[in-house]
Structure 1
Amino acid sequence: MELTYCGAAGVVTGSCHHLRIGRQQLLLDCGLFQGGREEEARNIQPFPFDPRAIDAVVLSHAHLDHCGRLPLLVRRGFDGPIYSHPASIDLVRVLLKDAAYLEQADVERENRKRARRGEKQLKPLFDLADVEAVMARMRPLQFNAADEVLPGVAATLLPAGHILGAASVVLDVHDAGRRKRVVFSGDLGPSDTTLLRNPAPPDSADLVLLESTYGDRNHRSRSETLQEIGSVLEAAWEAGGNLLVPAFAIGRTQEVLALFASHRHEWNLDRWRIFVDSPMAIQATGIHLRHADLFNDEAQAFMAGRSLRELLPNLHETPEAAQSMQLNNIRRGAIILAGAGMCTGGRILHHLRHNLWRSQTQVMIIGYQSEGTLGRRLVDRAEVVRIYGEDVRVQAGIHTVGGLSAHAGQDELVKWYGSIGGRPPVHLVHGEKRGRDGLAARLNHDYGVIARMPGHGEVITL
């Protein structure tokens, strides 16, 4: 059995791991590379394997950096099943359709510029037909139940937290009379979140592929995070402008809305108008409510069957572009949650262009910002940023709330690994250098394990 790292090796995007089991081939995830132009240019390159030879895909969850190249995989010849949790399947449909729409819009905008310069026209990375082809291949797997995904290969999904439906994947492989258990953590969420249950580690493994996004540090405690959000809200109100919240449409938006609902009076939120300015986030919120059985006990008890409108009477949804544009006329008292979470596209770019130069504006960053993204430049306190070809001076207040990350911090990653019996070999994926280095040092200190840090394209034999 051979394992090749085809993405998320030394970076936090492009998750894709290729397993060759005898004559069979399986992928764990098939995600987009995101960030700067150099990273995103990798998406159009040929896969380091023949898509027609892949027999099945097991998808850990619905974020683009894990599922975003599935349309390309299918377009280039893959015709096997794609296994994932039912909630992830629902979210993938929404997310990939939105990504196809944005891709088409971006290409059309760029092609107008190219036409004026007499340059070659671009083609979209994928389109809606490719997305529908992906959805036709999706097959549901439930949590905590082993299912055969290939002859001699059983997959068990374990709750990973992170976002709705997110899973760690346990592969029990029978190959040439030998048995191996490969565990892929997927993206692990923190413990004790507002909505989701805690991640569940497997009891054993022969090899662990462990994410390391925040492998070098811990997040602020829940109590400190709640206090910080309250302080940001108060500062934004006193500043006299709007509060912009770049938020991933899947996961972070729903987490923030749940926090707003549960702390509505404490944070004096009734004085604000709260806008969810993302068609995808609006649809994703509906999917969350349909899968409320995946919520933790506290969230289910708090909601008690009530709608978000009942919990947050001042919540407004703006699915139409015209409604979104009207928000630019609001100068005070609006909280605007819009994607993309790393400010790499979507409606948040328009709101940033209209508000970043205003000193009354406040921006609350609530998720990880990859190198090369606009979100990272804001976190790094850039004085000027470029949005849609225009230089915009950053005079807004920028607040980073680390405790709302969808990823587990170092202590939680170490605890998750430590719950697996036998101290199996561990390979660190889905992390930049400092994240992997920090987690490797901690695992060695606590458990005497020498973690391997595979490079892109590296092949290992199990």
Structure 2
Amino acid sequence: MTAQPQVKHHGAFAGVTGSCHELLLGPADSVLIDCGLFQGAETSGTGATSASSEIDFSLASVRGLVITHTHIDHVGRIPYLLMAGFNGPIFCTSATAHLLPLVIEDALKIGLTRDRDLIAGVLSRLRRMLIPFDYDEWQPLACDNSGHAVRVRFRQAGHILGSAYVEFEWGDAGGALRAVGGDRGVRGVGAHQPLKVASLYPLAEGYRVVFSGDLGCRNTPLLPDPQPLERADLLFLESTYGDRLHESRQDRSVRLKTVIERCVSDGGAVLIPAFSIGRTQELLYEIEDLIASNAGFWPTITVILDSPMAAEFTALYQQLAHLWDQEALQRRAAGHNPLDFSRLHTVASHADHEHIVNFLRTSGEPCIVIAASGMCAGGRMVNYLKALLPDPRTDVLFVGYQASGTPGRAIQEYGPDGGYVELDDERITIRAGIHTLGGYSAHADQAELIDFVLAASPPVGEVRLIHGDSGARRALATKLQERAALTFHSPT
């Protein structure tokens, strides 16, 4: 009997981006957990060159793909996976099944093609492959001729809408394995047939492997808190912020209010580079609350959402409001619409975008601009930064992780000292105020990661740290070893 199943890592093992892990169910059968793009400095070097978007590992044994959530560093290589010949089922939560086609469409337009017919064909194929599951329901994943089975369950991760950590459990198939019919509310998906595996690894019944995906913070707006970990024999745990603690939600709201009030007083713009999914919706929620509470001080300030993709996701967030947390639902019931309020102006066309950038360059009109990309590596935010970073009336707020090698990290590091950043091969002097609001991170901090591990009963058998810089992994490893008697492994 093997001590534990084998796992191969094809991304986010000794780094942060490009999440892709292969769980071997048996000697010749496996499933992938995520298939994301590399970003920042991780797009250079062995295994992460610009060509690394292409699948550079064998798919001979891969029978299916399990998705934790729809951020690009977890799903961005899916088009390349399809081009490499993968045609198996894609398992995910119901909300992820709604969001994923939008993310893949954007990835295709940016990285591969603008051919509408080709994009439509890829998306049609993708939708047929999706197998959406509800949270908390064990579903059959694979079975072999011996009557042994592996089942899977998605648990609320609280990171973005639809995000989950994923549990795989070995057991006796008995009568539990059966076809699960129905489209689960997503048009175009087929019925789920358990994967046929030649010979499952003979693990003890009840052996459980857990992949954390990206865990969210507690007490954030819109989404429920991550569900506590029940148990795990083997846990693959993200460590993005394993070396730091976030400021509280109350502190971050106060700091956001302070920066915006400076903007109003100075007559400048607040630029917030934000990821289209998750961070943008949280920001709109809190900004709407601040405007409603400070109507006298902020009589005319406009909030500009300049990201077609973020606007589409915001509309989907509203359609899937049944997945919001109780605070957000109560706020909406009281007459507030945190994602669609009167001061919010959504920019659609590129011509309107260019007009607004030029207007702000010359007018100094107080406003809040939320635009992608979150790491300033592309998208409409780059044009705002080129126009407004040299203006001392401007403030830039970073509310998410800035990967090494991205323009966002450079602005964060060199901006406070009046340095510069390279944008579109142009050196831009930074005179704007630069702020980082750690409390807006969508990732759990060190304390929350430790609490997630310690919640399990019985205690976790072994933890393997992934999805983190070396310093973050080392710091989290030290704290985990102090707090719990764990068998522990971390990439060097």
TM-score normalised over the length of structure 2: 0.85
* Aligned mate of 1:17, from 18, 21, 26: 21
**Residue matched to 2:153:** 156
Equivalent position of 2:182 in the other structure: none
Q: Distance in 1 between matches of 2:59 and 2:119?
A: 18
Matching of residues 259-408 of structure 1 within 5 Å: 259-267=286-294, 268-304=297-333, 308=337, 312-328=341-357, 329-330=359-360, 331-382=364-415, 383-408=419-444
Residue 192 (structure 2) aligns with: none
User: Is this contact kept in 2: 1:190–1:407, CA < 8 A?
Assistant: yes
What amino acid sits opposite 1:442 in the alignment? K
Decide whether aligned partners of structure 1 residues 45 and 65 sit closer, same or farther in structure 2, where only a CA change above 3 A counts. Answer: closer
CA contact (8 A) 2:136 2:154 kept: yes
Compared CA separation, residues 49 and 193, structure 1 to 2 (3 A): same
Q: Is the 8 A contact 2:55 2:84 kept in 1?
A: no
* Aligned ranges 1:203-282 → 2 under 5 Å: 203-267=230-294, 268-282=297-311
The alignment partner of 2:365 has SS state of coil
- AA aligned to 2:37 is L
Q: State the distance in 2 between where 1:271 and 1:303 align.
A: 23
CA distance in 2, matches of 1:332, 1:206: 56
Equivalent residue for 2:483, pick from 443, 446, 456 = 446
Task: Find the counterpart in structure 2 of residue 115 from structure 1.
Answer: none
Alignment of 1:6-155 (within 5 A): 6-22=10-26, 23-36=28-41, 37-38=43-44, 41=49, 43-44=51-52, 47-104=55-112, 129-151=121-143, 152-155=149-152
Aligned-pair CA distance for 1:100: 1.8
Distance 1:56 1:307, change over 3 A: farther
Q: Secondary structure at the match of 1:51?
A: coil
SS at match of 1:262: helix
- Hey, what's the Cα distance between the residues in 1 that align with 2:480 and 2:372? 35
Question: Is 1:414 the equivalent of 2:450?
Answer: yes
Aligned partners of 2:18, 2:472: CA distance in 1, in Å?
Answer: 16
Match of 2:462 among 420, 425, 448: 425
Q: Deviations over 1:256-306 (max 9, x none)?
A: 001112222334444211111001100001111111111111111101285
- 1:120 maps to none
Q: How far is 1:46 from its partner? A: 5.3
**AA at the equivalent of 1:352:** L
The letter of the residue matching 2:350 is: A
Q: CA deviation at 1:86?
A: 1.5
Aligned-residue offset at 1:133 = 3.1
Aligned-pair CA distance for 1:132: 4.1
Alignment CA distance shift 1:71-1:128 (3 Å): farther
- What is the match of residue 179 of structure 2? none
Select between 308-317 and 30-39 the one with higher mean Cα deviation.
Answer: 308-317
Aligned partners of 1:197 and 1:296 also within 8 Å:
yes
Change over 3 Å in CA distance of 1:432–1:258 after alignment to 2: same
Residue 165, structure 1, aligned to residue 162, structure 2: yes
Which residue in 2 is equivalent to 1:117?
A: none
Q: What secondary structure does 1:44 align onto?
A: helix
3-state SS of paired residue (1:439): helix
Name the SS for the 1:264 alignment partner.
helix
Distance 1:323 1:155 in 2: 46
Partner amino acid for 2:469?
E
Q: Are the counterparts in 1 of residues 222 and 325 from structure 2 also a CA contact under 8 Å?
A: yes
Q: Is the 8 A contact 1:30 1:69 kept in 2?
A: yes
CA 1:44–1:292 in 2, change beyond 3 Å: closer, same or farther?
A: same
Q: 1:46 to 1:104 in 2, by over 3 A?
A: closer
CA gap of 1:394–1:354, structure 2 versus 1, over 3 A, is same
CA distance in 2, matches of 1:149, 1:245: 41
Q: Secondary structure at the match of 2:293?
A: coil
User: Under a length normalisation based on structure 1, what TM-score does the superposition of the two structures give?
Assistant: 0.90
Instruction: State the shift of 1:194 in Å.
Output: 1.0
Indicate how the Cα distance of structure 1 residues 219 and 340 shifts in structure 2: closer, same or farther if over 3 A, else same.
Answer: same
In 2, Cα distance between equivalents of 1:208 and 1:339: 33
Q: 1:452, 1:339 → 2: CA distance?
A: 35
Q: How many residues are aligned here?
A: 437
Instruction: Tell whether the 8 Å contact from 1:52 to 1:76 is kept in structure 2 after alignment.
Output: no
CA distance in 1, matches of 2:51, 2:32: 16
Contact 1:170 1:202 (C-alpha < 8 Å) held by counterparts: no
Give the letter for the 1:365 counterpart.
Answer: F
Report the Cα distance in structure 2 between the residues aligned to 1:43 and 1:148, rounded to whole angstroms: 35
Taking a change above 3 Å as real, the CA distance of residues 127 and 388 of structure 1, as seen in their structure-2 partners, is farther
Q: For 2:167 and 2:285, locate their aligned partners in 1 and report how far apart those are by CA, in whole Å.
A: 31
Q: Secondary structure at the match of 1:203?
A: coil
What is the CA distance between 1:130 and its match in structure 2? 3.7
Structure-2 change in CA distance of 1:269 and 1:172 (3 Å): farther
Structure 1 distance, partners of 2:33, 2:44, is 24
CA displacement at 1:385 relative to structure 2:
1.1
Identity across the alignment (%): 34
Could you say what secondary structure the match of 1:408 adopts? coil
User: Is the contact made by 2:79 and 2:108 (CA closer than 8 Å) also made in structure 1?
Assistant: no
Change (3 A) 1:332 1:294: same
Match in the other structure for 1:116: none
The offset of 1:102, in angstroms, is: 2.1
Q: Whose Rg is larger?
A: 2
**Structure 1 residue 445: deviation in Å?**
0.4
Task: Please list every run of 5 or more consecutive structure 2 residues that lacks an aligned counterpart in the other structure.
Answer: 144-148, 172-199
Moved more, 393-402 or 39-48: 39-48
Identify the structure with bigger relative contact order (alpha carbons < 8 Å, sequence gap 6+): 1
